[in-house]
Amino acid sequence: MHSSQTEAHQLKEQQEAIIAGPPVLPVERPCRLGDGILLLPEETQERLRTKARMSQEPIHFFIPASGSGSRMFAFLEEYLDYPSAERAQNVERFFSKLPHFAFYRKLPLSIQNTYSSGTLQINALIRYLLDEDSLNFGRFPKGLIPFHIHEPIVLNAFQEHLVQGYHLTQGPTKYHFTIQQEFKQAFIQAQEELSNLTKHQYELEFSTQDKQTDSFVFEQDGNPLQADDGHFLRRPAGHGALLQNLSKLKAPYILVKNIDNVQHYTQHQESTDNWHYLLGLQTEIRTQLRGFQSRQDIEGLKEWNEKIGLFETQQLADLSTETFVELLNRPLRVCGMVRNNGQPGGGPFWVKNEGKLTKQIIEKSQLMTHPQMSQLLLQSAYFNPVLMVLSPCDLQDQTHDLSQFADSKSYFVVEKNQDGKKVQFVEKPGLWNGAMARWNTLFVEVPSDVFSPIKTVLDLLDFTHQVNKGA
């Protein structure tokens, strides 16, 4: 199809989606322990960790790192624009704990001395942190913001991921970071600085979100917005657009996590153990499925599935030889789930897909759009921390076309302010939401300690990000 025809088709398709509104997802119930969530005995977990440690299979990290750090510092910006007693409380805590933050070491000595003497003005500090001609944390990618103090140096989130990944495999680990193109050189420089310090080499790949996946922008009445030059305005279509980036990785196992979920190196052991557990479980499941496939053992699969719960029972009913092979050969993901302690975001649910129940990760925003669904959030006992081991290949290690396993109908309709007016656009099904809707999925309970994301800068005061600091 010609590019102009493709664009016209995409525009029409997205306009119809905007007018129709977000789809009502056929969510049945939250996944619970024993009903979609697997918890294995500690001795089994340790056996799987050992299996992963002994494995020679190459692994590849996939880490979305294009998001800016602006949300981390949003409350500081809001305090400058709209001061209030409530905002002042958080700002005062931030200010009083300033030396505990790794980026304190990046402040000029003149500012540090002014702070020590008690004469530093809060507003001046905030401006220095956020303004483009200073540290520019208001625009900088979150991955490049200093997170942790490692005396006498500091590491940003990106560097900490490299350090801990190297420890995970005791050798070179491949990394793929999705970034904004304008910051690529800054990421490369951060990697070079780390290599000079550690004397380790890191195998890195970078990619950006393909502009062809950007969504058209629409006014509230559903009409597309046009720029002065006549071109239609477009915006990035959410992390679901990264499926294309993920599809290009040639690796049997891909570990996915978010850039801001990384603990201080001194606290990393739990995370390392968790990765080994999930990786060992993924490899064992693939071995089992290969055996069932080679033996055409449908009854054996059903018996094994009763213990592990990879498939809903109905999925295994009335399998022909053809549907049996097709079911087993789908891409496979093993996803760690933590107990829900009120975190914002998605969780594991049972969803009716093509008449059969499957396990899906559903975002809070997808349920909140529909009042009849929002009650399900209150019933959800688990939260998705984005800790997953993917096997994107079939059981013969042939790479799938991952787009064939996405649910294009599971999109988001997003509202934003642009130039002072509300606009709407379609976000593609999230990378671990609708983009993986037809993957074989196993949810397993993992300890909450492996999840310590940085949503605001104050989260860096948590013990998982500090060393010998009574923050």
User: For the segment 125-159, what is each residue's pLDDT rounded down to a tens digit?
Assistant: 999 999 988 999 988 999 999 999 998 899 999 99
In a domain, 3, yes or no: no
367 pLDDT above the threshold of 80: no
135 lies in the same domain as 162: no
60 lies in the same domain as 75: no
Per the model's pLDDT, the better-predicted residue between 308 and 169 turns out to be 308
111 lies in the same domain as 38: no
Which of 139, 163, 184 terminates a domain? The answer is 139
Cα 181 from Cα 396, distance rounded (Å): 35
In a domain, 252, yes or no: yes
24 pLDDT above the threshold of 50: yes
Beta carbons of 94 and 122 less than 8 angstroms apart? no
Per the model's pLDDT, the better-predicted residue between 229 and 330 turns out to be 330
In a domain, 1, yes or no: no
440 pLDDT above the threshold of 90: yes
406 lies in the same domain as 355: yes
Low-confidence winner among 5-19, 181-195, 431-445 (lowest mean pLDDT): 5-19
Q: How many CA atoms lie within 13 A of 454 on its CB side?
A: 34
Which two tokens mark 254?
């891909």
360 lies in the same domain as 405: yes
Predicted local confidence at residue 471, as pLDDT: 40
CATH number at residue 320: 3.90.550.10
197 lies in the same domain as 276: yes
387 lies in the same domain as 309: yes
264 pLDDT above the threshold of 90: yes
For the chain, the average pLDDT equals 89
At position 359, the amino acid (one-letter code) is K
Number of structural domains found in the chain: 2
In a domain, 470, yes or no: no
65 lies in the same domain as 75: no
Mean pLDDT value across residues 209-231: 83
Task: For residue 34, give its domain range.
Answer: 10-69+146-465
Q: Residues 64-92: pLDDT tens digits?
A: 998 888 889 999 999 988 888 888 999 99
339 pLDDT above the threshold of 50: yes
* Percent of the chain scoring above 70 in pLDDT: 96
Beta carbons of 102 and 146 less than 8 angstroms apart? yes
394 lies in the same domain as 455: yes
The terminus-to-terminus CA distance of the chain in angstroms comes to: 59
Beta carbons of 61 and 272 less than 8 angstroms apart? no
Per the model's pLDDT, the better-predicted residue between 70 and 162 turns out to be 162
Predicted local confidence at residue 374, as pLDDT: 67
Mean pLDDT value across residues 295-304: 95
DSSP class per residue in 204-270: EEEE---GGGPEEEE-TTSPBPB-TTSPBPEE---GGGGHHHHHT---SEEEEE-TT----GGG-HH
380 lies in the same domain as 392: yes
Cα 290 from Cα 309, distance rounded (Å): 17
Neighbouring-strand partners of residue 234: 216
Q: pTM to 2 decimals?
A: 0.91
Which of 139, 160, 191 terminates a domain? The answer is 139
Q: Residues 390-432: pLDDT tens digits?
A: 999 999 999 899 999 998 888 888 888 777 778 888 888 889 9
Which of 139, 162, 186 terminates a domain? The answer is 139
134 lies in the same domain as 201: no
In a domain, 102, yes or no: yes
169 pLDDT above the threshold of 50: yes
Cα 254 from Cα 265, distance rounded (Å): 22
